[in-house]
Structure 1
Amino acid sequence: MKELQIEQRGSVWVGVFRAMASPCEIHIELRSRKRAAQLMALAQKEALRIERLFSRYRDDNVIHRINTAAGRSVTVDSETARMLDFADQCFTLSEGLFDVTSGLLRKAWNFDGSDRVPTMAAVDALLPQVGWQQVSWSEPHFTLPDGMQIDLGGIGKEYAVDRTVSLLNEHCQAPFLVNFGGDLHALRSPVTAQGWRVGIEASRGGSSDALHSILLERGALTTSGDARRYLLKDGVRYGHVLNPKTGWPVEGAPASVTVAGNTCTEAGILSTLAILHGNEAESFLEDQGVRYWVQR
């Protein structure tokens, strides 16, 4: 659904399109359909721009140049530099649990709902090529050892939400909500309601009913979990969030974690880190002093 589709729901216009392998929605409370459509087109353009810039599936962007540089230094633009700085910060603060070089492990893992769990040997063979501590980063020069890769997918969608919110805020004062694949951010509530009604879906069991209903006045919500990307073998479910130190799914990880934050970038890293903390997810989130919902 590359084309923008627009419909009216009560006092709110909703624009729907697809970007970053996710369904995307822009909700804007405006009288004018024409003005709403202009703002939604602006949001869609920004989402697609960020997808083009940071997607690991393209061969015409900075990520491809870095991943195919064969150990040579790559000069990056200022926006990419900010993302690399954030990746470095996340790696340091998480003591190596959040690592954008761990995407290489997808060569062994394909979380398609099947029972095809890789062998220990296949995973172990990739581990020497995982580890942010092996890269060289001094803005604007980034050097990745030959054979390694980076994948900004773990922070890219949340960044796209926040960038889109900032852009829309520059062009209108109307209440709006940005929702990219379940990562949400709103700056102000609708005039006709106390907030945006948001549902947290049950992570397993196939129910379409919301497990929790939240009234989001402003701020962000993100969810990490294994509802759609997992393997199932001999009654054991393997979630798609991998420990970069072992190459295997985190033991004792919650089925899903939803976190509220000031921005999607902030909430997103906390929800992912909570998954990576496994059995200690709730304790980790309590220490952060954030509002959260965990499903086990």
Structure 2
Amino acid sequence: MLSRRRFLAISAACCLPVPALAQELHVATGQALGARVTLRLSHPDAAAIAARVLAEISRLEQVFSLYRTDSALMRLNASGTLEVPPFELLECLTLAGAVHAASGGLFDPTVQPLWALYAETAVQGRLPTEDERKAALARTGWQNLRIGPDRIALAPGMALTLNGIAQGYIADRVAALLEAEGLADILIDTGEFRALGGDPRGGDWPVHLAEGGQVGLRGRALATSSPLGTTFDAAGRVGHILDPRTGTPAVPVWRAVSISAPSAALADALSTAACLMEVKAGIETLCEKFAETRPESITPA
């Protein structure tokens, strides 16, 4: 009930003729951010490409994972400071800061103390008390985070979660790696989609939404968030997207929000923030603040 399942599936063709797509896909599996990773490639060197991609995912896990005690993020959370932080962490936090500002603070990775509290009390079969929630909320706040190329620092008691952006960021980095390899026409799915080129059979990559409908992707990304997509309780009523203003789970105004953008990290963060907005116009205005970004589907609860 507390895990966020993320799957990575890559279907790739490097300028292959259509008949070649009928060949069996190479499938490789691994783990990323606590979820199963699956890579599917149609290419003569698929095994070697898959090995390089899995190595890159493992490297990025060492930056963003909340499961690995020695990851850069966990070391930052444990000590409150991180000297000479990895470029990827700085880049991801910079984008997170831009979405935080554009959303009026609705996207806030400093909610980790709240998330940890809800996870802990869920194991005990209860919700946090008001005093517990207020105490955890007092240890949040983007304004208390200091980000610099040589050092990242948190205020006492703070901690970060990048679960609302890191999956998309990893999809973007995998796309960049494969593009550097000279590959094209790839669809990456980490739970957030990243299309590098279009469908090698012609046209855009068709991505079907869980709430119905289809979005065509070509050189773009798509992310979907749902307030009740992952829950802390067996009844499925206490969602995992927490409001940084109150410390309580997002009111499920929307069943799901899907946003497309030039990058999966941006789409991921925006769709998370959108789940905390109460009117459709607010989501549309938020997307307008970023170039070539738009809501593809906003489904009421």
TM-score tier, shorter chain, comes to: 0.7 to 0.9
> Is residue 115–residue 231 contact of structure 1 (8 Å, CA) maintained in 2?
no
Q: What does 1:63-142 align with in structure 2 at a 5 Å threshold? A: 63-69=73-79, 74-110=83-119, 116-142=126-152
8 Å CA contact 1:28–1:177 kept in 2: the answer is no
1:12 shift after superposition: 6.8
Q: Is residue 59 of structure 2 the alignment partner of residue 46 of structure 1? A: no
The alignment's TM-score, normalised by the length of structure 2, stands at 0.80
- Name which of 153, 159, 163 aligns with 1:149: 159
**For residues 135 and 295 of structure 2, what CA distance do their matches in structure 1 show?**
39
* 2:194 equivalent to 1:185: yes
Structure 2 unaligned regions, length at least 5: 1-7, 12-19, 289-293
Aligned residue in 2 for 1:207:
none
Query: What is the correspondence of 1:104-253 to structure 2 with a 5 Å cutoff?
Result: 104-110=113-119, 116-180=126-190, 182-202=191-211, 211-231=212-232, 237-253=237-253
Q: Which amino acid in structure 1 is aligned with residue 134 of structure 2?
A: D
- State the one-letter code of the partner of 2:283: L
The 1:61/1:114 distance shift into structure 2, 3 A limit, reads closer
Q: Which runs of 4+ in 1 moved over 3 A?
A: 4-12, 23-30, 72-75, 111-116
The answer to whether the Cα contact below 8 Å between 1:260 and 1:292 also exists between their aligned partners in 2 is: yes
Aligned length: 277
RMSD: 3.0
Identity across the alignment (%): 26
Give the AA of the match of 1:24. V
Which residue does the alignment assign to 1:208?
A: none
- Cα deviation, 1:53-84, whole Å, max 9, x if unaligned, reads 111222212222222225x5633233322223
Distance 1:102 1:5 in 2: 29
**Is residue 292 from structure 1 mapped to residue 296 from structure 2 by the alignment?**
yes
Unpaired runs of at least 5, structure 1: 203-210
Q: Are the equivalent residues in 2 in contact too, given 1:223–1:268 (CA < 8 A)?
A: yes
Greater share of strand residues, 1 or 2? 1
Mapped to 2, the partners of 1:193 and 1:9 lie a distance apart of 12
Whether the 8 Å CA contact 2:228–2:255 is kept in 1: the answer is: yes
Please state whether the residue corresponding to 1:163 is helix, strand or coil.
helix
